[in-house]
Amino acid sequence: MKQQNYFTLKEAQLNNNCPECYSNNGLVLTFKQRFVENIFYRAITEERINEMRCNTCDTDIFPARWTNEIEQVVDYKRRAIQPKPKSLKLKQLSWVLIIVDAVILIVILLFVFGVLKF
């Protein structure tokens, strides 16, 4: 079964006021990048998300509640992060299947062209 995870790229403390409790020292902005893993491969995608949480009032702050100042800071921080490059790594089971398929294909071709006879 395909499993989707996100790993943290960067976490930043913001000095802006929280839209819920108006505290100016509890906002934490987290940027995450998607990581997909199943039995055949492991991949890092280009998809990124950001989450904001206030540690003072223990609330998730969704983009609809952001002020203009918060949006400006989030845009600045988004431009500053360096995402990991998109990648794909095949696992051992994939390599075994590729090699077995290649051997079967070669045997079939040798049989069709008359090199091998049974």
Give every residue of the chain whose pLDDT is below 50, as ranges: 1
Full residue range of the structural domain in which residue 46 is found:
3-112
Task: Check residue 3 and give its pLDDT.
Answer: 54
Q: Is residue 118 part of a domain?
A: no
Q: Is residue 14 part of a domain?
A: yes
Task: Check residue 19 and give its pLDDT.
Answer: 87
**What's the rounded Cα separation, in Å, for the pair 18 and 70?**
9
Q: Is 58 helix (H, G, I), strand (E, B) or coil?
A: coil
List the structure tokens of 1: 């079964």
Q: Is residue 53 part of a domain?
A: yes
Closest to 14 measured CA to CA, from 77, 82, 83: 77
Task: Check residue 22 and give its pLDDT.
Answer: 87
Closest to 84 measured CA to CA, from 26, 50, 34: 34
Q: Is residue 117 part of a domain?
A: no
Q: Is residue 103 part of a domain?
A: yes
Q: What is the pTM of this model?
A: 0.75
* Total domains, the chain: 1
**What's the rounded Cα separation, in Å, for the pair 56 and 26?**
5
